Chain A
Amino acid sequence: MLRAILLAFGLCLCVPVAQAQTLQDLLQADLEAIADPSRRTVGEVLDVLVASGLPEVPVFLERWREKLVFQRAADGLFFYAVETDDGYSLIDITTGAEVGTVGPRDVTALLPNAGVRGVIGTALIEFQLMDPDLVRRTAAVDAIARSPEPEMLEPLRGAIPDESDPDLLTRKIRLERLLSARFETDSATRVAALQTLATDMSVDVRAVLNTVLSTDMRAGPALPDDANIAGLVTPGSNALSREAAYQMLVEAELAPALIPVDAIKAALIAAVTDGQVGGVPVATLDTDAARAAAYETLAATGAVPPLVTDTDIDASLAAHAFWLEYREADAAVTDAAALALASVGTRVAAYQVADLTLDALSLASIYFLAAIGLAITFGVMGVINMAHGEFIMMGAYTGYVVQLFIPDYTISLIVALPLAFAVTFGAGVSMERLVIRHLYHRPLETLLATFGISIALQQLAKNIFGTQARRRARSPRPTGSAGHGPIMTCWGSAISASRSSCWR
């Protein structure tokens, strides 16, 4: 009795020791995967770490992703490290306490590449989605957006009601719709989510819709009734060549395989008896047609599989159906996705037309303005101004210089507009007073003089601003929609000819 009690007591003492694995132990168990990780293999060690349930794991994963984890060369243990004047101060990964200091050569930093960092980010999602820190929640949402998976749908839905930041809330709702469109199991909810995507033109929406609508090419005796068919495919068309179609039938064992030329020769060689093959002398078998005919006689005896002629191929192709089948079995879902994609496609095309038109108007108006100015100068004053382009360039550089001093883009535009007029007005007046006034009624001399002024102004600009093209910064565009971009670009360009590099 006493022995039994003692034995039970001893066993109870033994068991807890096996459970006291620290984070360091888990990491040391799989050194290679932590020190030199690969995107394909790091998932396993991450699963182990997350499953352990240790509270230090999320912090470790974050630090690892930010390249703040170091490995001591002497014993291979992992630490966090803070840089000091002459090395690093090591911090224990479980307790957070300072352990000691080492020289810069005694530790190496762990540098996971972008692929590994993405996988770590995915593993961190479940920890960070409800984190009180906004930065962490944003990082979690970014990670979901980057590589969406079905398991994230429910946690994301759970994280929406309590979200306090309005921007992040909008993002979460949108992301939830995207995930729902891809992964939701209930058909009606999924269709509803797809319908809401019909007005969103961004790339990730189109990615989701295209993924839902992805198809496989299939072949068979007849069109199946229960499959979700995207469309029929005719062999011999652009989508499916005759050869590829027949190859599909061969692989599905619905048609005999083609006999390649080498196999024909090999069969004939194997069947040579007394310098003949099936009664045909070998010497006459020097053309493909002769060889095929000899092979046919062999096939008639059943010794080799028969040749497949073009008529045979045509007959096989006609006897079978070829179709594109959606990977998604639910027809309601694919119909909704197709409608949404069509609607998105029309919108994108419409915006592209509008964009092109506005771009054309913008460019044409710049040239038109320049041409009008030149025509007026010649018509009114009889002066051919070869420096006309440089005057326009002056206006553009005025806008650039104003922008250097006034950081706010809208105000700088408002200031630059009259200032450009004033600067070029001053330049025009001074050119007239100093040069043109002496050369009235002498058009060739004014031509020559203004040509010289044009070269001088070009080089002046090159000396002051350098030879690189200068961008006039545009107001920050809203991300996501393509709609506002072209309109704002158009106005900016039309007002202050920003392509100064044209005139060099």
Chain B
Amino acid sequence: MTNKMTLTALSAATFLAGTGAALAQDCAEPIRVGVLHSLSGSMAISETTLKDVMLMLIETQNAAGGLLGCQIEPVVVDPASDWPLFAEKACELLTVNEVDVIFGNWTSVSRKSVLPVIEELNGLLFYPVQYEGEESSRNVFYTGAAPNQQAIPAVDYFLEELGVESFALLGTDYVYPRTTNNILEAYLLAAGIPPENIFVNYTPFGHSDWATIVSDVVALGAGGQQVGVISTINGDANVGFYKELAAQGVSAEDIPVVAFSVGEEELSGLDTSELVGHLAAWNYFMSADTPENAAFIEQWHAFAGPTRVTNDPMEAHYIGFNMWVNAVTAAGTTDVDAVRAAMYGQEFPNLTGGTAVMLPNHHLAKPVLIGEIRADGQFDIISQTGEVDGDAWTDFLPESAVLTSDWKDLGCGMYNTETATCVQLTSNY
């Protein structure tokens, strides 16, 4: 009796183990996706929500059957707004956790820290945030806006629509504001704005004492011209800046401020009653009235709670993740080089009613939207263009105007069109 039961039990166990092994054979190794966003420190205000949206996207994909028959496993690390730690964590993700792709970074200095690591280890990074251009790495897909998809159209809007004659370029002190302001200064000078009407100022991360700077900006109008502020201030320094503007009684109709790094997430932690009328330039706003956006917001609220907002970098991750899933499916493998080749020409509908296309320079075609802040922390979309191709090397700086990037046909991210040679295959760190 006991022997029979043991025998049955054993055979049952072997049978289950057999089927278990058979199931496991469909997925030789789980697919791991690394999430490299700051969850503490000065950039946590902006980056924590990107980690959450990645978890939602992975969960949705797993519920739909996973990828290549495997479930996707998210690997979340916290680089704590510490730029060298970003490089360490990227290395850890690629060597210890052996992830197949990384979705991460916000500040350009964090991306520059990570570049040497992923270029050496041949990793793959999807970078969702608007940035300064002047880069096209083999191992990075830039799903955020290049300057010609955000900064330049916003300056055009200031010049033509709002009639601004005096510009204050305020930024946090690191590579993104510095490079963007170089480009914008060259653009403004070419547009005929005299140099004495351009005021440039940089502040450290987390800077909270804005009284002097805002007074200087107001004093720019002492010559009688209309003043406008182009803000590349990142992180929680924005809190103090907008508070100081309100404290000095500067309304959006006196001095318009267009910010490139302030979205719905940053506004949700601020008292927006004094910010009404100020501007932001992005490729997506939560208030976009399309069925795709409504579905995405519903899904997000079900995942994260009804009070959470969506913003442009989240849409960039949405597009980037879905394009990566499609590329992996097309390539049949998560091998970085095969996936890269499958990414060129990938199309995926964006959330504002158009289609995002991945170009050979690793940038997307994105529409340019300009929004005005409302009292409830959302944006009124006051201007929307069609899809604009991202340009990695700006046409407004002479040394970049001759460069082009084409990884598909030329196999080079920094190709000099005048000398017809590839300048270098790695990026500038």
Contacts and interface: CB of A to CB of B under 8 A. Distances in A.
B329 interface: no
Contacts of B277: 114
B253 A118 contact: yes
Interface in A339-379: none
Contacts of B382: 111-113
A210 interface: yes
Contacts of A214: 224
Nearest to A470: B208
B160 A67 contact: no
Residue from A38, A67, A114 with most neighbouring chain B CB atoms (10 Å): A114
A219 to B, nearest CB: 20
Interface string B220-256: 0111100000000000100010000000110011101
A501 B240 CA distance: 14
B402 interface: no
Contact of B219 (A111, A203, A469, A479): A203
A137 interface: no
Interface string A97-128: 00000000000000111110110000000000
A208 B224 contact: yes
A207 to B, nearest CB: 4
A114 B236 CA distance: 26
Residue from A111, A113, A471 with most neighbouring chain B CB atoms (10 Å): A113
A438 interface: no
Contacts of B77: none
Interface in B302-346: none
A185 interface: no
Contacts of B381: 111
B161 interface: yes
Nearest to A67: B380
Contacts of B256: 114
A206 B253 CA distance: 20
Contacts of B249: 479
Interface string A27-46: 00000000000111000000
A113 B161 contact: yes
A211 interface: yes
Interface string A456-492: 0000000000001101000000010000000000000
A208 B222 CA distance: 8
Contacts of A118: 253
B194 to A, nearest CB: 13
A146 interface: yes
Nearest to B277: A114
Nearest to A501: B208
Contacts of B161: 38-40, 113, 115
> Which of under 10, 10 to 19, 20 to 34, or 35 or more describes the interface residues of B?
20 to 34
Nearest to A482: B215
Contacts of B383: 113
Interface string B139-164: 00000000000000000000011110
B39 to A, nearest CB: 14
A157 B223 CA distance: 25
A479 B279 CA distance: 25
A190 B162 CA distance: 31
A113 B222 CA distance: 25
Nearest to A476: B247
Nearest to A206: B222
B372 interface: yes
B55 interface: no
Contacts of A204: 221
Given A203-B221, A479-B249, A113 B372 contact: yes
Interface in A165-218: 203-204, 206-208, 210-211, 214
A112 B380 CA distance: 10
Contacts of A469: 206, 208
B280 to A, nearest CB: 13
B322 to A, nearest CB: 27
B253 A40 contact: no
Interface string A6-41: 000000000000000000000000000000001110
Nearest to A118: B253
A471 B248 CA distance: 16
Contacts of B279: 114
B193 interface: no
B253 A146 contact: yes
Contacts of B297: none
Interface string B390-426: 0000000000000000000000000000000000000
A216 to B, nearest CB: 14
Given A40-B160, A118-B253, A207 B224 contact: yes
A114 B223 contact: no
Interface in B202-225: 206, 208, 218-219, 221-224
Nearest to B215: A482
B372 A203 contact: no
A210 B380 contact: no
Nearest to A38: B161
Contact of B224 (A210, A471, A479): A210
Contacts of B221: 203-204, 207
A232 B352 CA distance: 59
Contacts of A207: 221-224
Given A67-B380, A203-B222, A146 B254 contact: yes
A113 B276 CA distance: 12
Contacts of A211: 223-224
Contacts of B222: 203, 206-207, 210
A471 B381 CA distance: 34
A45 B208 CA distance: 45
Contacts of B224: 207-208, 210-211, 214
Contact of A114 (B206, B218, B372): B372
A270 B279 CA distance: 58
B253 A114 contact: yes
B162 A114 contact: yes
B18 to A, nearest CB: 54
Nearest to A39: B161
Contacts of A471: 208, 240
Given A39-B163, A210-B223, A468-B206, 19 more contacts: A39-B161, A39-B162, A111-B380, A113-B372, A113-B382, A114-B277, A115-B162, A115-B163, A146-B254, A203-B218, A203-B221, A206-B222, A207-B222, A207-B223, A207-B224, A210-B222, A214-B224, A471-B240, A479-B249
5 contacts: A114-B252, A210-B224, A214-B224, A471-B208, A471-B240
Interface of A: 38-40, 67, 111-115, 117-118, 146, 203-204, 206-208, 210-211, 214, 468-469, 471, 479, 501
Q: 4 smallest A-B Cβ distances: which pairs?
A: A211-B224, A206-B222, A207-B224, A113-B382
